């Protein structure tokens, strides 16, 4: 019977696994009438990490997102899913600074000094190398995102494997901690504690796509 149900409702398996993952990480599973709107909200050090789906045209992919108050440091790290980056395509920066990563990922960035400080932590490099599949880790304006896009691809499907979800969450958490350490990320809670100027806090929250309800 379960096989028939999963065949008739292919998204049911994902929902079951996302509920299991939510329970294991202390998250809150948010179920909408349309399954595409399902999310898992995970509290972490004053941030809210959201597991959801991103849809652009026909491309659908799993995305983990953490919003924060940021500076202008932007980067993308593309994991090759266990494949080796061809030697002629390896990044000169990684070859020089982090040869252990050069054969496993490609990078784009706007501040080499900050990226060096971020990747200097061996735990983050370890999670990057151990990632079980293709991924794109991206620091954009006001948020850090991790999804399962391959380099140069906009679609790589939905992650349903619970182990894979745990690995992705560990990588995002480690990267978020690294961003805090180098002064490139401030949580909503930290900002709330740092100032009593409520109008200024509200303006900064709105500029970064946050709400006062994001203060955990």
User: Which contiguous run of DSSP H or E holds residue 116?
Assistant: helix 112-119
Model confidence band, residue 77 (pLDDT cutoffs 50, 70, 90) = very high
- What is residue 94's predicted lDDT score, i.e. its pLDDT? 96
Mean pLDDT of the chain: 82
Predicted TM-score of the model (pTM): 0.81
User: Rounded CA gap, 207 and 123, in Å?
Assistant: 32
| pLDDT tens per residue across span 27-67 | 999 987 555 578 999 998 878 899 998 887 777 889 999 98
For residue 35, what are the domain limits?
A: 2-214
Give the separation between CA 62 and CA 101, rounded to whole angstroms: 24
What pLDDT digit, counting tens, does each position of 133-173 carry? 889 999 998 899 999 876 655 556 788 899 999 999 999 99
Question: What is the count of structural domains for the chain?
Answer: 1
**Residue 191 pLDDT > 80:** no
Tell me how many helices (H) and strands (E) the chain has. Answer: 9, 10
Percent of the chain with pLDDT over 90: 50
């Amino acid at each position: 019977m379960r096989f028939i149900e999963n065949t008739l409702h292919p998204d049911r398996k994902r929902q079951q696994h996302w509920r299991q993952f939510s329970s294991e990480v202390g998250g809150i599973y948010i179920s909408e009438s349309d399954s595409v709107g399902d999310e898992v909200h995970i509290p972490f050090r004053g941030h809210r990490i959201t597991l959801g789906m991103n849809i652009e045209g026909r491309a659908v992919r799993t995305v983990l997102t953490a919003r924060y108050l940021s500076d202008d440091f932007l980067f993308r790290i593309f994991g090759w899913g266990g494949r080796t980056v061809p030697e002629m395509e390896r990044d000169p920066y990684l070859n020089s600074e982090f040869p252990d990563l050069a054969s496993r990922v490609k990078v784009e960035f706007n501040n080499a000094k900050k990226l060096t400080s971020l990747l200097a932590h061996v735990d983050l490099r370890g999670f990057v190398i151990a990632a079980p599949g293709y991924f794109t880790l991206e620091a954009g304006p006001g948020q850090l995102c991790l999804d399962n896009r391959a380099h140069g691809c906009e679609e790589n499907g939905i992650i349903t494997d619970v182990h894979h979800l745990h690995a992705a969450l560990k990588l995002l958490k480690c990267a978020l901690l690294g961003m805090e350490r180098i002064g490139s990320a401030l949580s909503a809670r930290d900002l709330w504690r740092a100032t009593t100027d409520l109008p200024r806090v509200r303006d900064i929250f709105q500029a970064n796509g946050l709400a006062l309800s994001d203060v955990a």
